Structure 1
């Protein structure tokens, strides 16, 4: 009888361990990075000089989804040709680079943010599924150093 109780306790402990492992694995997948944004490093610039800000965006979501890409900065930056935001359909494994021309009179931290656009889906035929969580986005910032 003692051996039977020990065996049933061991089975219960193993079952509990497997259940906990499955729970933590699904949580890890849920918080996995699904959108990567990289700012291509910029060379130092002179005050007022036009320089290119380039941001590469890649999705690791399982399906195609609409993404909005726009700029961020800690101080005001001039955009001589316009500060555009881009919306495009990103599919798994694809990377796309977006460009802006910027200028500043002082050193500034600039970058890009890409966020899944939940109000729409990709064009028909691209197997698109809007993401379920609104907090799925990526940000990357770099310093544009202004030298005199």
Structure 2
């Protein structure tokens, strides 16, 4: 059974098991490997993509649940020039091992789309992705910088 959705601005139709997690459909059938597999139980956030604008953990999300949806992966963020979030990430030297970064950036992009000027509490409540390197203070500072960069245009 073919399942259709929009992926990074392009229509996609896949003929896979409807229960196959979206993460694996995107990685294996579409060749977009920027989104990572972490825990497999939707706890760590490495697999975060946007589903109709909402930061969603995709390692347990069956592809059939996104039929007709608009999906964005890390590959859609700053393809030509870095986004405000990516620039803030570099300014604050957030990445260390880097494994969680694609999911973290996707979560932050969604937060800033919803709340252009988030408080520390907003950040803590919305960004529940796990960073094993423990750069949470840098992440929070980078989110505030990204919000400012977005406001400045």
Q: TM-score, normalised by structure 2?
A: 0.24
**Could you say which structure has the greater relative contact order, defined with CA pairs below 8 angstroms and 6 or more residues apart?**
1
Q: TM-score, normalised by structure 1?
A: 0.25
- Larger helix share, 1 or 2: 2
